[in-house]
């Protein structure tokens, strides 16, 4: 059962100064996998054990889940793993911008909260400003992975990423959806979906060499695609 919080509420709009990698990991020089919306973080626990050559950071807007995940991390002594409470669209941009070049090598957004209604589009986790911050931090060839079990969630994410022009899909991946998860560990939600025999919609992107688009132009283009009714021109007179 998903427990939504409204990321636009005043409390979640307060920017947080997130700790630098030196404060999070025993070896801050490892490449970082950033999982946005990590929930309880069990997937990252397993990934941290399977991939000790990476640092794994989960960020989550629901503070109780972060506290529980961090307690597990401390108990397991996974020193290449950390969890942080924050609103990704408020606090992540500055943190990513301060990273050494090519430190961030993978960003994943897996099964984000399903804000279905158009009027709730600003509550979605992947907003144009966050996407541009990710694209600005990832070097060419580094990866962005998105997945959901809800088409109404994944389709706007895909539309936004592809409108930016900053990412390409691997040529060998199936269209419109990748057949499997490129990560070796599924999330709890993914396991639940698989047990029910339901589909998961996945896309893997790699940063290309295209420059970042103008933020305002990207926002306008995304609104036209995501809510074309708002782009209607009223008749003269």
Residues pairing with 84 in the sheet: 59
Euclidean distance between CA atoms 154 and 159, whole angstroms: 9
DSSP element (H, E) containing 147: strand 143-148
72 is catalytic: no
10 Å CB burial of residue 83 (0-12, 13-18, 19+) is buried
Residue of 201, 206, 129, 200 whose CA lies nearest to 160: 129
Residue among 27, 35, 113, 168 flagged as catalytic: 113
Give me the half-sphere count of Cα atoms (radius 13 Å) on the Cβ side of residue 30: 18
> Are 39 and 85 a contacting pair, CB within 8 Å?
no
Question: Which residue is associated with the tokens 């509420």?
Answer: 9
Per-residue tokens: 229: 């009714």
Among candidates 135, 126, 33, which has minimal Cα distance to 82? 33
Catalytic residue numbers read: 113
């Amino acid at each position: 059962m998903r427990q939504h919080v409204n990321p636009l509420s005043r409390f979640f709009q307060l920017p947080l100064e997130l700790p630098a990698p030196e404060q999070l990991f025993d070896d801050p020089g490892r490449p970082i996998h950033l999982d946005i919306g990590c929930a309880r973080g069990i997937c990252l626990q397993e990934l941290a054990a399977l991939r000790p050559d990476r640092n794994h950071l989960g960020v989550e807007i629901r503070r109780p889940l972060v506290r529980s995940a961090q307690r597990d991390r401390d108990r397991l002594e996974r020193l290449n793993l950390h969890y942080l409470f924050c609103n990704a669209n408020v606090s992540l941009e500055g943190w990513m911008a301060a990273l050494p070049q090519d430190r961030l090598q993978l960003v994943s957004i897996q099964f984000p909260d399903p804000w279905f209604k158009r009027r709730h589009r600003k509550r979605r986790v992947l907003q144009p400003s966050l996407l541009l911050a990710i694209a600005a931090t990832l070097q060419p060839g580094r990866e962005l992975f998105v997945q959901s079990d809800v088409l109404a969630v994944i389709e706007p994410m895909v539309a936004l990423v592809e409108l930016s022009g900053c990412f390409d899909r691997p040529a060998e991946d199936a269209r419109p959806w990748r057949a499997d998860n490129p990560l070796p560990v599924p999330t709890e939600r993914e396991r639940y979906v698989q047990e029910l025999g339901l589909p998961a919609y996945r896309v893997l992107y790699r940063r290309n060499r295209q420059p970042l688009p103008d933020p305002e132009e990207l926002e306008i283009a995304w609104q036209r695609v995501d809510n074309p009714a708002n782009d209607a021109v009223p008749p003269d007179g």
